[in-house]
Amino acid sequence: MTQIPEILLKKAEELEQKTAEQFPALKPLVKQCFLNTIETTVQQLDDGSYFVITGDIPAMWLRDSAAQVKPYIKYAKEDESLRAILRSIIEKHAFYVNMDPYSNAFNAAESKDGHADHTDWQSGWIWERKYEVDSLCASLYLSYEYFKETGDRAIFTPALHQMIETIVNTFTAEQHHDQTSYFFIRENCPESDTLPCDGRGTPVNPNTGMTWSGFRPSDDACKYGYLIPSNMMAVVALRYAAVLSHEGFSDEVLADRCTQLSKEIDKGIQTYGIVEHPVYGKMYAYETDGFGNYNLMDDANSPSLLAIPYLGYCDASDPIYQNTRLFILSKENPYYYEGTAAKGIGSPHTPNNYIWHISLSMQALTSTDEEEIRTCMDTIARTHAGTNFMHEGFDVNDPANFTREWFAWANTLFAQTVETLVNR
């Protein structure tokens, strides 16, 4: 495994001390959750590059890997060994996106590992080819946040420039999904693991300005192809891409394309993504087809409607976000569960009455209410089933029943949440 940069060991100790003072019940968890990604999932390959697995799945998801290393970025300016790791991960993102922007997860080398699905392109590098808008956004967030924190211009390679172009081209093409060739069919699987309509997904209005996504961050198929939280993430990611294009490559044409596309998607969200709820008023839908059909729910995984301020799309005080938040944290949301041990947001990806530690962390990160924050932290302290690690989903009545014992993203987000809270 990777040698842990000294700065991360130092910050883990400091975080543990602060947590002991402010959230004592979380002290046994926070240090090992903070270090879990670098200790167990960041691997140096034979060629010297770095590869990040998700935990119990030996593949590199673009979204997960970017989220897993996110809390480390703020310390990279102080440690060259950490910068070297993060630069390599950014390079790996560019390599994979340029190879195939429609894939969400990749192998460390060409192999037969992964899923043998029916789609319009295949490669031994690909673990899974579920097209998810947020995966491409994650690569842009990672690159932008690293550059803004460190000022390290070494990331501005031809491959990164090509990655930005590839993402813009893909998002633009998928504004008119009916004209693209992408399809995805998986056989002998749950309905959520494949796309209907011969792998093309249900029809969408091609004139909304939003960009189509086949799958959600949970890797479940979208009910309607315009996934609002992912489009929100795209709005912000494209703004970041414009900065990278301008400051890194002096490519004003590409920067203008990023800015214009961001505006088009944002206009589509505001025009087609808002509904009038009889109880909560104006709020964001989770998905829409642009024809007037809406899916009113939220999923535990991020990007989610709950995570809107975390994504940088709007402030937590925004009235439409607040209305949306009231809805998704109520029984009106079909994936909000309450039990004898916990309450919170789950997912159709996991069993009924299972809520996610990721959603509890995100609820605390986006809350402006101290009591709500404390409740989320107390819930986490009581529901890790004695493992001192986060899980994917757990039973609201019996946290000893859970999915994914080793899920690095959930550990990372929890540590990031505690770090944010203790440093307020």
Write the CA distances from 44 to 38, 88, 100, 353, integer angstroms.
11, 10, 23, 39
The predicted pLDDT at position 96 comes to 98
* Section 51-64 average pLDDT: 96
Tens of pLDDT along 321-358?
999 999 999 999 999 999 999 999 999 999 999 999 99
Q: Cα separation of 282 and 341, whole Å?
A: 32
Q: Cα separation of 357 and 300, whole Å?
A: 8
Determine the number of helices (DSSP H) and then strands (DSSP E) in the chain.
Answer: 14, 16
* Section 221-250 average pLDDT: 98
Chain mean pLDDT for the chain: 97
The predicted pLDDT at position 160 comes to 98
The predicted pLDDT at position 1 comes to 62
Residue 281 has pLDDT above 90, yes or no: yes
What whole-number percentage of the chain has pLDDT above 90? 99
Residue 2 has pLDDT above 90, yes or no: no
How would you classify the pairing of strands 60-61 and 184-185?
unpaired
Contacts of 233 (CB under 8 A, 6+ apart): 133, 134, 137, 141, 303, 311, 313
Contacts of 99 (CB under 8 A, 6+ apart): 106, 123, 125
The predicted pLDDT at position 314 comes to 98
* Section 152-159 average pLDDT: 98
Q: Cα separation of 39 and 205, whole Å?
A: 46
Axis crossing angle, helix 80-99 with helix 158-173, rounded to the nearest 10: 40
Tens of pLDDT along 88-140?
999 999 999 999 999 999 999 999 999 999 999 999 999 999 999 999 999 99
Task: Look up residue 38 and give its DSSP letter.
Answer: I
Contact 125, 99 (CB under 8 A): yes
Q: Which H or E element spans position 333?
A: none
Long-range contacts of residues 383-386, Cβ cutoff 8 Å, at least 24 apart: 383/341, 383/342, 383/357, 384/29, 384/357
Tens of pLDDT along 380-401?
999 999 999 999 999 999 999 9
Q: Cα separation of 238 and 12, whole Å?
A: 32
Tens of pLDDT along 211-221?
999 999 999 99
User: Which phi and psi (to 5°) does residue 42 adopt?
Assistant: -90, 115
* Section 56-76 average pLDDT: 97
**CA-based R_g, the chain, Å:** 20
